[in-house]
Structure 1
Amino acid sequence: MRVLFFVVAGLAALYAGYWFVGSSQVEAGARAALAGMEARGWEVEYADLSTTGFPSRFDTTVTELRATSPDGVVRWAAPFVQVFALSYRPNQVIVVGPPEQTVTVAGQDLGVTADGLRASATVGWSTALPLDHAAVESGPLAVVSDGGWSLSLDRLLGAVRMAGPGANSYDLFLEGTGIVPAGLPERFGSLGLDQLRFDGQVVLDAPIDRRLAVPPRATALTVRSLRIAQGDVALGGTGELAPDAQGFLAGRITLTVENWRGLLDRLEAAGLLPFARGSLVERGLEQASRGGANLELPVTLAEGQVRALGVTLFDAPRVR
Structure 2
Amino acid sequence: MRKLIWLVVIAGLAYTGYWFIGAKSTEKAIAGWASARASEGWQAEYSGIDTHGFPLRFDTTITKPRFADPRTGVAFSTPQFDILSQSHRPTRIRAQVAPTATLATPLQRMEITQDRAEAELFVEPGPSLTLDHASAVLNGFSVTSNLGWGVTLETGNFNTQRDISDPFKHDIHLAVQGLTPSQGLMASLDPQGLLSHQFEQLELRMTTTFNGPWDIHALEGPRPQPTHIDLTNFSAKWGKLDLRMTGAFDVDGRGYPMGTVAIKAVNWREMIEIAISTGMIPQNMSNLALRAGEMLAGMSGRKDTIDAELTLKDGMITLGFIPLGPAPRVVIR
Q: TM-score, length-normalised on structure 1? A: 0.89
- Structure 2 Cα separation of the partners of residues 177 and 113 of structure 1: 17
Contact 1:259 1:294 in 2 (8 A): yes
- Structure 2 Cα separation of the partners of residues 89 and 193 of structure 1: 39
Matching of residues 217-228 of structure 1 within 5 Å: 217-228=225-236
Task: Report the counterpart of residue 209 of structure 2 in structure 1.
Answer: 203
Task: Report the counterpart of residue 193 of structure 1 in structure 2.
Answer: 199
Structure 1, 274-283 or 294-303: larger mean CA deviation: 274-283
Matching of residues 1-320 of structure 1 within 5 Å: 1-70=1-70, 73-106=73-106, 108-182=108-182, 183-184=184-185, 186-189=187-190, 190=195, 192-212=198-218, 213-244=221-252, 248-268=256-276, 270=278, 272-274=280-282, 275-277=285-287, 279-319=290-330
User: Which amino acid in 2 is paired with 1:207?
Assistant: P
User: 1:250 Cα deviation (Å)?
Assistant: 0.5
User: 1:317 Cα deviation (Å)?
Assistant: 3.8
Secondary structure, aligned partner of 1:44: strand
Deviation string 1:242-264 (CA, Å, 9 cap, x unpaired) is 03477631111111223323433
Deviation string 1:28-69 (CA, Å, 9 cap, x unpaired) is 121122223323321122111110110000011111222233
- Structure 1 Cα separation of the partners of residues 205 and 146 of structure 2: 33
Aligned length: 320
User: 1:165 Cα deviation (Å)?
Assistant: 2.6
- Structure 2 Cα separation of the partners of residues 107 and 291 of structure 1: 42
Cα 1:22/1:305, change in 2 over 3 Å: same
- Structure 2 Cα separation of the partners of residues 123 and 13 of structure 1: 29
Cα 1:306/1:186, change in 2 over 3 Å: closer
Give the gaps of 5 or more residues in structure 1.
none
Secondary structure, aligned partner of 2:65: strand
Cα 1:207/1:29, change in 2 over 3 Å: same
The share of aligned pairs that are identical, in percent, is 26
User: 1:164 Cα deviation (Å)?
Assistant: 3.9
Q: TM-score, length-normalised on structure 2? A: 0.86
- Structure 2 Cα separation of the partners of residues 151 and 98 of structure 1: 19
Secondary structure, aligned partner of 1:140: strand
- Structure 1 Cα separation of the partners of residues 166 and 18 of structure 2: 38
Contact 1:284 1:309 in 2 (8 A): no
- Structure 2 Cα separation of the partners of residues 65 and 148 of structure 1: 26
- Structure 1 Cα separation of the partners of residues 169 and 300 of structure 2: 36
Contact 2:47 2:65 in 1 (8 A): yes
Deviation string 1:106-136 (CA, Å, 9 cap, x unpaired) is 4854221101111111111244322101222
User: 1:12 Cα deviation (Å)?
Assistant: 1.1
Cα 1:56/1:62, change in 2 over 3 Å: same
Deviation string 1:289-313 (CA, Å, 9 cap, x unpaired) is 2134334211122233322223333
Structural RMSD (CA): 2.5
Secondary structure, aligned partner of 1:177: strand
Secondary structure, aligned partner of 1:154: strand
User: Which amino acid in 2 is paired with 1:133?
Assistant: H
- Structure 2 Cα separation of the partners of residues 141 and 245 of structure 1: 33
Secondary structure, aligned partner of 1:139: strand
User: Which amino acid in 2 is paired with 1:11?
Assistant: A
Structure 1, 285-294 or 82-91: larger mean CA deviation: 285-294
Structure 1, 288-297 or 222-231: larger mean CA deviation: 288-297
User: Which amino acid in 1 is paired with 2:239?
Assistant: G
Structure 1, 126-135 or 222-231: larger mean CA deviation: 126-135
Cα 1:258/1:72, change in 2 over 3 Å: closer
